[in-house]
Structure 1
Amino acid sequence: MNTKQLERVQTGKGFIAALDQSGGSTPKALLQYGIQENSYSNEEEMYALVHEMRTRIIKSPAFDSRHILGAILFENTMDRSIDGQYTADYLWDKKGIVPFLKVDQGLADAENGVQLMKPIPGLDELLTRAVDRHIFGTKMRSVIKEANPAGIKKVVEQQFALGKQIAARGLVPIIEPEVDIHSADKEASEKLLKDEILAHLSALDKDVKIMLKLSIPTENDFYRELLEDPHVVRVVALSGGYSQAEANDKLTHNRGLIASFSRALSQGLTAGQSDEAFNAMLGKSIQDIYAASIT
């Protein structure tokens, strides 16, 4: 584990940029960016366009380490280069931004009010490549739709089992059990989730470091105990379908919680914008998300 990067993530002011839409969500991300599905005819062309979009964001002068602590990539981005350097090396060497990798393969069908992660058969090999590519940490997402104790228990068990496997490779796992913001019993789900997470944290070996990525809680400062746990490097918040303005507003009421926004970060950016307009729009978003993250 890179101790400089650990210190940056643990104590730095700023937020984590999520640039990790992949697979099924890629066409949606491109569409939001103003690229229609008929602009590419196969997966390779689609991923090349996504990499162009991500490169434009990463190379923007607005995308800087004064505001951004880390960036979450997906596998395809990790394996590609920016100006002759692998993306993770470019982020750290040129920008001072810590690289993370999304490792999950998407969600299983809903059962017991939750969606677990699909199995990740090539995880060991992927982690080996992540270490070779100088990745600092990983991210994996499950979703909680109902306050179902059995379902939530399974989500947290799966997340921590994989988290321990990842930590054993010297990487810092971001554990992401998202509570659906449209859930009718969101607050009840959050109570069950926090109890399960605290139980698993108390059972970890003392040297294991993890991060948590959670939906912004209904009750302000509800995740305070998680922020204070010695195993937890940082707790970051997902935007979860809120607009950028809504997500920022909710975040300001949760001290210590910082953003890890994806769609809310790239909101308003389009392929057709001039560099000036693109950088201005990205800069404004970054300033606003940063301000909400340091309250």
Structure 2
Amino acid sequence: MTQFALCVGINRFENLPMTSWLNGCVNDAADVSALLGRAFGFADTSITVLTDRAATKDAVFGAMTEALDRANTPGEHLDHIVITLSSHGTQLPDTSGDEDDRVDEAFATYDLRQSGAAWNPGSLIVDDELHDLFARLPKGVLLDVILDTCHSGSGLRAMDLLPSRDDRRPRFVPPPTPLGRDGAEAGGADTRTLRDLIRSSKAAAKPVLFAACRADQTAADANFDGRYNGAFTHFLLDALQSGAASSRGEVIKQVNAKLRDRKFTQRAQLEASAPGKSTAWGTAF
């Protein structure tokens, strides 16, 4: 089996103040990379890890595009792609014209920067871009996606996003200005997530998506025994490396049980076909 993994973790951002930086995203990328090699047979040469300064929009999206190009190249025999993204999530007003009452969900890269009242689309990865990229997934290639970032689909009121504990903070950064927040809030409860786009896609093959939280929630960056991780990634890796979960569906149940036990309000989400939910993570279906 030919495998490729891209593990992205961004704690520091070129144009954000230190108060908006995160603590556990780089650890997420390193920990997922290590687990892929240890438990799932990924060779070191098949794993690309991009963190902080190296994780620009061009670098991250370029690596993902290269993976899908390989998957569609005859003779490459790329069987399994894993893409994991840990960073801030944010929103920006939709500008494509096909959803004028909604907003786009976006993944913040290292070079996130402002353009007018909103974030510059060239400095983050928008859900529409991921949807169009994943729509190129050919039959016979498994794509596992892990997103440990906030979606925050119902409202961007900054005061609601302040961490309630010193050892936990939300992986969400609102649009940079009040005008930008107003534009994004126009989407309200109608906001889609990548999960919605994957569900509605007519592509020949669809990725399996694990997401850290629902569209109306924030994902936590948290301290576990003196070391930071995304809460979702921390419990996901626990479930995967324990071997106790027989299927992806069981994995998500275990993750959410641990999130509840530790008093995290987020609830992890799984988007996959019925066969995908009933087979083990990393297994074709």
TM-score range, shorter chain: 0.3 to 0.5
User: Which is richer in strand?
Assistant: 2
Scaled by the length of structure 2, the TM-score of the pair is 0.37
Say which structure is richer in helix: 1
How does the TM-score come out when normalised to structure 1? Answer: 0.36
